[in-house]
A and B are shown apart, each in its own frame.
Chain A
Amino acid sequence: MNILTHAPFHRVVRRALLAILVPCAAFAVLAQPARATTIERVVSSGGVEAWLVHEPAVPLIAVDFAFIGGAIQDPPGKAGTANLAASLLDDGAGDMDSKAFQDRLERKAIELSFNAERDHVRGSMRTLSENRDEAFDLLRLALTEPRFDTADVELNRAQIISMLHRQTSSPGDIASRRWWETAFEGHPYGRPVNGTFESVPNITIDDLKTYTRRVLARANLKIAVVGDIDAETLKPLLDRVFGALPAKPDLTPVANATPQGLGRRIVVSLDVPQAVVDFGGPGIARKDPDFMAAYIVNHILGGGVFSSRLYQEVREKRGLAYSVSDSLVWLDHAALFFGGTATRADRTGETLEVIEKEIHRLAETGPTAAELAEAKNYLNSSFVLNLDTSSKIASMLVQLQLDDLGVGYFTQRSAMIAAVTLDDAKRVAKRLLDNGLLVTVVGKPEGVASTSTTAN
């Protein structure tokens, strides 16, 4: 049975996981006197740190972790190495081949997964607390003794190439790929995380082993544990699972970058009834004093609630699209804002005009006092919604650590939101939204044409 939803907020929600604003505020609730749950910073005797929320109400344990150094650490000409390596970490380890390893996981209903992003390799483990020791043991094997057997490597490689084939005719993938490769031409961020038809076939088993040896280390690792386990039980398990990893990674330095191609429009022709549009420009860094104001301004522009200006102007008033939103994205070496929509071919020009006009209007005059108050209120009140499952909490605690925000940050959180004045918001709107846009469009759009590259 198909299920259709009213509004495509899933897309926004997914992106919001990147956003630390919400989890930061979350701590205040976690620390509420009425709730016993708090975040503990646990350090094992071997020096492995994890942030723990001990919550015994449900007999399960969620472990999330991230290693800094994702696809941007792929060797030159071997884009997709991190992605292929991550896909193989649960395909056999120690003396168990893939089948034996999967069998062990399945029998105990242990969920183990790994994936690569631009800046990180992430992992996630879920287990019933009764299978705790076996689950941590399988995780240890996956991280420290992955096998990379030829048959598994070739199968995963074939699956990735198959996905690359599918993406060549998918408007959303084409739009996004063109945007990133143009905005970050010559920089590792311009390379697709999944790799390319040229690079993926060239990745050797040695490349995979070298990659994991370089990146899976303790000094660049952030861990969160949530659920039915206390600090004293966790500590020796941290040493057992992560203690055997090398102390330090061997990461290649990556330069900071800002999006290029502002003012350009790139149209890719594809025979589909609906045109897919991606747009974006430079953002504001996570540690920039203006970050909070920028986050609020972005929320007002297109932050994934019905009240955003883009949603109201593009969808509610004109019916031009089902989905339109944008979000702040902060990477380790770049900051941007990035949005998208999908609209009927014959009104693509009009849709893009409306979006550009709204971005320009917000840059010029800033938000109204009422919009600012509403946004602040929403961002302050909504954080608890991200705290109602172990998985959500674990994922946020990892992000907090990746963003290098100490526990003290939580208590300052709402004050920082409150401190953003209307003047701040206006100034930062101008700073954020007045830089021009790089736009990619895929489909058969009317009223939109590629600009010549000299416009760059």
Chain B
Amino acid sequence: MSQIYWSMRLSKVLLLIVALAGAAASAAHAGSGPDVAHFTLSNGLEVVVVPDHRAPVVTHMVWYKVGAADETPGKSGLAHFLEHLMFKGTEKNPGQTFSRQVAEGGGQENAFTASDYTGFFQRVPREHLKEVMAFEADRMTGLVLTDEVVRPELNVVLEEQNMRIANNPGARLGEQMDAALYLNHPYGRPVIGWRHEIEKLDRDDALAFYRRFYTPNNAIVVVTGDITADEVKADAEATYGKVAERAPSNPRQRPTEPVQQAPRTVTLADARVEEPSISRDYLVPSETTAKSGESEALDVLAHVLGSGEDCRLYRILVVDKGIALSAGAYYTGTALDYAKFGVYGAPKPGTTLRQVEAGIDAIIDDVVAHGITADELDRAKNRLIADAVYAEDNQATLARWYGAALATGQTVDMVRTWPDRIRAVTADAVQQAARTWLDRRKSVTGYLVKSLQPEESHS
């Protein structure tokens, strides 16, 4: 229940979502899964519907194509702060009317903010869908904010920053690594914001950001569950359809990275670190920016290198050589601009971070030089494609995939064809991806240690 484990669990969940994102739709493509409907209202609002009639429940989400990477420099944390303030009521539904109605209907609600998007969702018994759509359409433009509600909420967000980051050395290292990885792109800023900038955010900042980005032509509604596309279409037109565009849908042009030329290292020392660890992030293309086949090859590469106990990193470093207690790799491909390919490990007592890092490097060098085996390729593909079926079991997961994909510039079709594209990955493509992208000059390596004294083997 500690914050550290919480954030580790969170990142695992995210990885799963990323890994399964395309997979779920694959079944749809193959004709064995749900039918996905996709349409756009006249005010520019996109709608995606994925039916699942097993339980009388729907998941309803609205995704705004705005996130922390769209903030004005100096206002970091604003996207997330506004997300919190969206629960403060509108002219038509003041105070906590919306939340109260959701709860009275037996529903759950929450919201989330990431670098590229901000989302709000309700999970409700199916008969309440239209009602929550009406509420959500209302707060798309009707938000009312007073200092009386804004000020306590700023304190809530500062406590959230304490909980997630300040109290957690690993999360603090993660912030420093992102800042070092991105030389020019705003992905280098924490989604929650830098604390000294969060402290200065106010009502006017939030309202300006809201008016600029919260408009139907910058939003995607995703509904999954016990509902048909026709029903959703009628309800969407009666609710969201009445909301007028109030701002242009801005082209999302962010500063881009220069050619990265030097490996970076970041060391965070904290007396509370009882177990040192090393992690490295490489700057790689996202599913949206990658050349054809490239992000799929990175999916397979991450799986072969670092997923589960049957991957190269765990097998060699933890089991065979016995120098690490944990090791793995991941690729978080769902992003508008850039993605990260990460590797990590924690030394066993008696070994050093350097030994684990050398072990990781040797494994990467081997893949770059010799590629992966046909058996590794098959196993990884089978597993990634099988995950599609597991994904179909959870309507909330399905909603998240489609929302995240569309909010980061992908299409419904890209999601649907993901398993076919995984099927088409060759061992050569995986080796080529490793050779091209696992380049130290485009990476940051982070060390989490107890003190900055020269490291000896930890015991």
> If A319-B155, A342-B159 touch, does A4 touch B390 (CB 8 Å cutoff)?
no
Interface residues of A in 264-281 (CB under 8 A from B): 270-274, 276
CB neighbours (8 Å) of A168 from chain B are 274
- Mask, A335-353, CB within 8 Å of B = 1, is 0000010111000000000
Q: Is the beta-carbon distance between A107 and B190 smaller than 8 angstroms?
A: no
User: Cβ of A1 and Cβ of B54 under 8 Å apart?
Assistant: no
Beta-carbon nearest neighbor of A270 in chain B: B272
Cα A106 to Cα B382 in complex, Å, equals 9
B237 beta carbon closer than 8 Å to chain A: no
Contact B116–A1 (Cβ < 8 Å): yes
Select which of B99, B346, B389 is within 8 A of A60 by beta carbon. B389
CB pair A60 B163 closer than 8 Å: no
**Which of A34, A166, A377 has the most chain B CB atoms closer than 10 A to its own CB?**
A166
A44 at the interface (CB under 8 A from B): no
Cβ of A249 < 8 Å from any Cβ of B?
Answer: no
Known: A4-B80, A102-B308. A388 touches B54 (CB 8 A): yes
Whether the pair A274, B162 counts as a contact (CB closer than 8 A) is: yes
Instruction: Given A2-B191, A6-B84, A6-B87, check contact A58 B163 (CB 8 Å).
Output: no
Check: B156 CB closer than 8 A to any chain A CB: yes
B residues 96-111 touching A (CB-CB < 8 Å):
96, 99-100, 103-108, 110-111
Q: B309 at interface (Cβ–Cβ under 8 A)?
A: yes
Q: Which residues of B contact A413 (CB under 8 A)?
A: none
Q: How far is the CA of A271 from the CA of B167 in the complex (A)?
A: 9
B72 at the interface (CB under 8 A from A): no
CB distance from B167 to the nearest CB of A (A): 5
Q: A222 on the interface (CB 8 Å rule)?
A: no
- B163 in contact with A274 (CB, 8 Å): yes
Shortest Cβ distance from B259 into chain A, in angstroms?
23
Flag the segment in B366-374, B391-399, B428-436 that touches A. B391-399
Contact of B3 among A105, A170, A315 (CB under 8 A): A170
* Interface of chain A, main secondary structure: mixed
Contacts of A384 in B (CB 8 A): 55-57, 106, 125
Within the complex, which residue of A102, A377, A387 is in contact with B310, where a contact is CB–CB below 8 Å?
Answer: A102
The answer on a CB contact under 8 Å between B163 and A342 is yes
Classify chain B: how many residues form its interface, as a range. 35 or more
Chain A residues, Cβ within 8 Å of B55: 29, 35, 384, 387-388
Q: Which residues 155-189 in A have Cβ within 8 Å of B in the complex?
A: 155, 158-159, 162, 165-173, 176
Are B318 and A385 interface neighbours, CB within 8 A?
no
Give chain B nearest CB distance to A118 CB in angstroms: 14
Q: Quick one: given A319-B155, A319-B156, are A106 and B103 in contact (CB under 8 Å)?
A: no
* Chain B nearest Cβ from A285, distance in angstroms: 24
Once the chains bind, are B10 and A3 in contact (CB under 8 Å)?
yes
In the complex, which residues 107-166 of chain B have their Cβ closer than 8 Å to any Cβ of chain A? Answer: 107-108, 110-116, 123-125, 151-160, 162-164, 166
Give per-residue flags for A92-128: 1 if the beta carbon is below 8 A from chain B beta carbons, else 0.
0000001100110111110100000000000000101
- Which residues 51-92 of A have a CB within 8 angstroms of B? 55, 57-60, 62
User: Which of B4, B96, B124: most chain A Cβ within 10 A?
Assistant: B4
A171: which of B159, B167, B383 is its contact (CB, 8 Å)? B167
CA distance A159 to B309 in the complex (A): 13
CB distance B103 to A305 under 8 Å?
yes
Residues on B with beta carbons closer than 8 Å to the beta carbon of A385: 57, 106-108, 123-125
B272 close to A273 (CB less than 8 A) = no
Are B54 and A55 neighbours in the complex by a CB distance under 8 Å? yes
Give Cα distance in the complex from A385 to B121, angstroms.
Answer: 13
Any A CB within 8 A of the CB of B421? no
Interfacial chain B residues near A307, Cβ < 8 Å: 96, 99-100, 103
Q: Is A389 an interface residue (CB 8 A)?
A: yes
For B310, list chain A residues within 8 Å (CB).
99, 102-103, 105-106
**Chain B contact residues, majority secondary structure:** mixed
Q: Which residues of chain B are near A305, meaning CB under 8 Å?
A: 103
Q: Which residues of A contact B383 (CB under 8 A)?
A: 106, 109
Would you give the 0/1 interface string for A388-407, flagging 1 where the beta carbon is closer than 8 Å to chain B?
11110000000000000000
Tell yes or no: A37 within 8 A of B by CB.
yes
Please, how many angstroms separate the alpha-carbon atoms of A229 and B308 in the complex? 27
CA distance A270 to B270 in the complex (A): 12
Given known contacts A158-B325, A273-B166, A384-B125, A6 and B159 CB-to-CB distance under 8 angstroms? no
Question: Is A31 in contact with chain B by the CB < 8 A criterion?
Answer: no
Contact of B83 among A6, A10, A151, A383 (CB under 8 A): A6
Q: Which A residue's beta carbon lies closest to that of B271?
A: A271
Task: Name the distance in Å between A158's Cβ and chain B's nearest Cβ.
Answer: 6
Chain B residues with CB under 8 Å of A109's CB are: 382-383, 386-387, 390
Q: Taking the nearest CB of chain B, how far is it from the CB of A8, in angstroms?
A: 8
Any chain A CB within 8 A of the CB of B348? yes
Decide yes or no: A381 and B105 within 8 Å by CB, A274-B162, A274-B167, A387-B57 being known contacts: yes
A9 at the interface (CB under 8 A from B): yes
Contact of B104 among A103, A319, A374 (CB under 8 A): A374
Contact A107 B110 (CB under 8 A): no
Interface status of A287 (Cβ within 8 A of chain B): no
Which one of A126, A273, A307 has the highest number of Cβ atoms from chain B below 10 Å of its Cβ? Answer: A273
Question: Among A1, A9, A387, which residue has its beta carbon within 8 angstroms of that of B114?
Answer: A1
* B156→A377 contact, CB < 8 A: no
Which B residue sits closest to A161, measured CB to CB? B349
A379 CA to B108 CA, complexed, in Å = 12
Say whether A158 contacts B348, CB under 8 Å.
yes
Binary per-residue interface labels of chain A (420-437) against chain B in the complex, 1 for a CB within 8 Å, 0 otherwise? 000000000000000000
Against B, the Cβ 8 Å flags (1 = close, 0 = not) of A295-332 are: 00000000001110000000111111111000000000
Considering the complex, give the chain A residue whose CB is closest to the CB of B334. A1
Q: Give the residues in chain A near B309, CB-CB below 8 Å.
A: 98, 102
Task: Judge if A247 is at the interface, Cβ distance under 8 Å.
Answer: no
A319 contacts which of B3, B153, B225 (Cβ < 8 Å)?
Answer: B153
Residues in A with CB closer than 8 Å to B379 are: 106-107
Task: Find residues 296-353 in chain B having any chain A CB closer than 8 Å to their own CB.
Answer: 308-310, 315, 318-319, 322, 325-326, 332, 334-335, 340, 346, 348-349
Q: Which of the listed residues A126, A151, A378 has the most CB atoms from chain B within 10 Å of its own CB?
A: A378
Residues of chain B within 8 A (CB-CB) of A103 are 310
* A-B pairs with lowest CB-CB distance, top 9: A381-B106, A319-B155, A319-B152, A109-B386, A382-B106, A172-B2, A274-B162, A169-B272, A170-B2
11 new A-B contacts, CB < 8 A, other than A2-B190, A109-B387, A318-B152, are A1-B14, A3-B14, A108-B386, A128-B386, A168-B274, A170-B4, A171-B2, A171-B3, A172-B2, A306-B103, A380-B106
11 contacting pairs across A/B (C-beta < 8 A): A60-B393, A102-B309, A106-B310, A271-B272, A274-B162, A320-B159, A344-B158, A388-B55, A388-B396, A389-B395, A391-B394
